[in-house]
C-alpha cells in the first residue's frame, strides 16, 4: 500500500507579528503547498509539535522576522514520507524528531571547532524556515534525531527543544557534582532539566511565579519552591534563568555562592537592570548565556533522557487551537509543556 502525499496542507503562519492577545491575530491557519524536500532533505508528515516560548517570540515579533509568513514550531515529531535526492540516513516510515537548529555551514571557525551552535550562518526551524505548526515539513537529514522508542510522540515533542536547550543550559551552568542548582521559571524546559539534575544527585531549588508550577516542582523532587524574585533559601553553586525576564538577573546573581555560575537560557530577554558590582559580580561570579545547541548536545541529551526515564509533563492541544496554546503559554503558570496533536 503506498501513501499518497497531498499537494496542499493546513499550516499556521505568522501573518502580522504582534501581541498574541492583541486586536489583530498574529497567527492564521491557512492552506499552502506541501513542501518538496531538497537534496539531502526528507519530507516528514507531522505527528506532534511542541509549543515553545520561542514560538511566542517569533509570533509576537520579539525576534526580527527572518522569513515572512513563517510557520512556527521546532519541537516536531513526525514520520518520514519522502526522501529528497541523495538522502539516505532514514527510511520511509521512520519516526524522527526535528529541532530548532536546522542547518549550520560546516566550514566557519565555530563549526570547525565543535561550536556549531555559534555558527553565524546557522538557520533555525520555525524562524528561517517553515516549522511544525503544519501537516508536513522538510528537514536536512543530518539535523534530525531518532526518537527513543519508549517515548510516545506527544511526550517526545518537548524533548526536542525544551529538553535539549535545557540540557545545554545545564552544561553551561557548570554545576559541581552533588552541588546545588537554582531554576528560575518552571515551564517546559526547566521541568525536564530539573529531572536530569535531580537524577544526578544535585539539589534543585525552583523560583517561579504560579502556585501550580511551585507544587509541580516539589512533586518532581525540588528541595524548595519560591517566588521568581525571592532569594533562594541557601546560596547556590549554579542557577539557570528560563524566564525571559531580565529583572530576575540581579536577584539570581545575589543568590549565588562565590565562584558560582548563572546561565541565561533564553534566546530573548528583557533588559537587565543596572548591576551592583559587589552584590552581583564580585567574588568571581560567572554570568553566561546559552545559544541553541550542537547536534552532539542533542544526541547526548536524548540518550540520557532515554536512560534516566525522563518524563516530560505535556498538555495536548488540537492542531486547530495552536493560537490558544500560545496564549496559554504567554500567561505563565503552566505545568510542563503544551503539545499540538497534528497527524496522529
Which positions lie near Zn ion, rule CB under 5 A?
52, 54, 104-105, 108, 111, 119, 161
Of the pair 56, 280, the CB lying nearest Zn ion is at: 56
**All residues at 6 or more sequence positions from 108 whose CB lies less than 8 Å from its CB, including other chains:** 119, 120, 121
Of the pair 111, 139, the CB lying nearest Zn ion is at: 111
Shortest distance (Å) from residue 107 CB to Zn ion: 6
Shortest distance (Å) from residue 104 CB to Zn ion: 5
Number of Cβ within 10 Å of residue 107's Cβ equals 10
Q: What is the 3-state secondary structure (H, E, C) of the chain?
A: CCCCCCCEEEEEEECCCCCCCCCCCCEEEEEEECCCCCCCEEEEEEEEEEECHHHHHHHHCCCCCCCCCCCCCCCEEEEEEEECCCCCCCCCCCEEEECCEEECCCCCHHHHCCCHHHCCCCEEECCCECCCCECEEEEEHHHCEECCCCCCHHHHHHHHCHHHHHHHHHHHHCCCCCCEEEEECCCHHHHHHHHHHHHCCCEEEEECCCHHHHHHHHHCCCCEEECCCCCCCCCEEEEEECCCCCCHHHHHHHCEEEEEEEEECCCCCCCCCCCCHHHHHCCCCEEEECCCCCHHHHHHHHHHHHHCCCCCCEEEEEHHHHHHHHHHHHCCCCCCEEEEECCC
Of the pair 99, 232, the CB lying nearest Zn ion is at: 99
Of the pair 104, 238, the CB lying nearest Zn ion is at: 104
Of the pair 112, 307, the CB lying nearest Zn ion is at: 112
Asked if 205 and 236 count as a contact pair (C-beta separation under 8 A), the reply is: yes
CA distance 180 to 260: 10
CA distance 181 to 157: 25
Shortest distance (Å) from residue 300 CB to Zn ion: 18
Of the pair 99, 343, the CB lying nearest Zn ion is at: 99
Shortest distance (Å) from residue 251 CB to Zn ion: 25
Shortest distance (Å) from residue 309 CB to Zn ion: 23
Of the pair 124, 184, the CB lying nearest Zn ion is at: 124
Shortest distance (Å) from residue 170 CB to Zn ion: 15
Of the pair 119, 252, the CB lying nearest Zn ion is at: 119
Of the pair 119, 157, the CB lying nearest Zn ion is at: 119
Shortest distance (Å) from residue 318 CB to Zn ion: 21
Shortest distance (Å) from residue 105 CB to Zn ion: 4
Query: How do beta strands 136-140 and 41-51 pair?
Result: antiparallel
Amino acid at each position: 500500500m503506498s501513501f499518497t502525499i497531498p499537494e496542499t496542507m493546513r499550516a499556521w503562519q505568522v501573518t502580522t507579528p504582534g501581541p498574541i492577545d492583541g486586536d489583530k491575530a498574529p497567527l492564521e491557519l491557512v492552506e499552502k503547498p506541501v513542501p518538496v524536500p531538497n537534496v539531502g532533505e526528507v519530507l516528514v508528515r507531522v505527528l506532534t509539535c511542541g509549543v515553545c516560548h520561542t514560538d511566542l517570540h517569533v509570533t509576537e515579533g520579539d525576534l526580527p522576522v527572518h522569513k515572512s509568513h513563517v510557520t512556527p514550531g521546532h519541537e516536531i515529531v513526525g514520520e518520514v514520507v519522502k526522501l529528497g535526492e541523495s538522502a539516505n540516513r532514514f527510511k520511509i516510515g521512520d519516526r524522527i524528531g526535528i529541532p530548532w537548529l536546522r542547518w549550520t555551514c560546516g566550514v566557519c571557525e565555530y563549526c570547525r571547532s565543535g561550536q556549531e551552535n555559534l555558527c553565524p550562518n546557522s538557520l533555525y526551524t520555525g524562524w528561517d524556515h517553515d516549522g511544525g505548526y503544519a501537516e508536513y515539513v522538510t528537514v536536512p537529514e543530518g539535523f534530525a534525531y531518532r526518537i527513543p522508542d519508549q517515548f510516545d510522540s506527544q511526550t517526545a515533542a518537548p524533548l526536542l527543544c525544551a529538553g535539549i536547550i535545557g540540557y545545554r543550559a545545564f552544561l553551561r551552568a557548570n554545576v559541581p557534582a552533588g552541588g546545588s542548582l537554582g531554576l528560575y521559571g518552571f515551564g517546559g524546559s526547566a521541568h525536564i532539566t530539573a529531572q536530569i539534575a535531580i537524577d544526578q544527585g544535585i539539589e534543585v531549588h525552583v523560583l517561579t511565579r504560579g502556585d501550580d508550577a511551585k507544587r509541580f516542582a516539589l512533586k518532581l523532587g525540588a528541595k524548595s519552591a519560591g517566588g521568581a524574585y525571592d532569594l533562594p533559601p541557601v546560596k547556590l553553586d549554579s542557577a539557570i534563568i528560563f524566564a525571559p525576564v531580565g529583572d530576575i538577573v540581579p536577584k539570581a546573581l545575589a543568590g549565588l555562592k562565590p565562584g558560582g555560575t548563572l546561565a541565561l537560557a533564553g534566546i530573548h530577554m528583557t533588559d537587565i537592570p543596572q548591576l551592583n558590582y559587589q552584590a552581583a559580580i564580585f567574588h568571581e561570579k560567572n554570568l553566561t548565556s546559552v545559544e541553541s545547541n550542537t547536534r552532539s548536545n542533542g544526541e547526548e541529551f536524548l540518550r540520557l533522557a532515554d536512560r534516566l526515564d525522563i518524563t516530560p509533563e505535556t498538555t495536548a492541544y488540537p492542531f486547530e487551537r495552536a493560537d490558544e496554546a500560545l496564549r496559554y503559554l504567554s500567561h505563565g503558570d503552566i505545568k510542563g509543556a503544551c503539545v499540538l496533536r497534528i497527524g496522529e
